[in-house]
């Protein structure tokens, strides 16, 4: 039962994020302003709540990511992702296979038009198993 509830919860979150991404891509300016006013405070508070749960304890460990047998030093992956997406804008330094730091180019971050068309919509949107992928427009008889 918990697995089903968890999957329903995850699907609802992915669907909400997909809807917001679609709005950002397709909505007109007045609609975007309306969505920004209602959704940005909710999204920022959500980030704050998640980051509070991952604040380092007095030993410098993340209490959420750590287990009894394995301590996770701060900054944990949640803080690293938050920094990359909220501060560095996706251009944060990355490590190559040899551990050397390198910066991602704009093309690597955003991809080219041809590359993004080759990735299936399901992978682009982050949908999960219980959420059926959308029917491609070219597959709809009209």
pLDDT in tens, 103-118: 444 444 444 434 333 3
Residue 130 has what pLDDT? 45
Lowest mean pLDDT among 25-29, 45-49, 70-74, 122-126: 122-126
Task: Return the pLDDT at 98.
Answer: 58
Which pTM does this prediction carry? 0.58
> Three-class SS string for the chain?
CHHHHHHHHHHHHHHHHHHHHHHHHHCCHHHHHHHHHHHHHHHHHHHHHHHHHCCCCCCCECCCCCCCCCCCECCCHHHHHHHHHHHCCCCCEEECCCCCEEECCHHHHHCCHHHHHHCCHHHHHCCCCCCCCCCCHHHCCC
């Amino acid at each position: 039962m918990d697995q089903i509830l968890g999957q329903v919860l995850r699907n609802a979150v992915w669907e909400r994020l997909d809807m917001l991404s679609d709005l950002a891509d397709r909505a007109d300016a007045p609609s975007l302003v309306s969505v920004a006013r209602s959704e940005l405070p909710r999204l920022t508070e959500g980030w704050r709540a998640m980051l509070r749960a991952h604040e380092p304890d007095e030993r410098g460990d993340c209490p959420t990511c750590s287990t009894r047998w394995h301590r996770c030093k701060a900054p944990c992956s949640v803080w690293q992702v938050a920094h990359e997406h909220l501060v560095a804008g996706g251009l944060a330094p990355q490590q190559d296979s040899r551990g050397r730091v390198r910066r991602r180019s704009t093309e690597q971050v955003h991809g080219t038009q041809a590359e993004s068309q080759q990735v299936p919509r399901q992978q682009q949107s982050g949908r999960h198993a219980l959420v059926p992928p959308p029917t491609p427009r070219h597959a709809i008889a009209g």
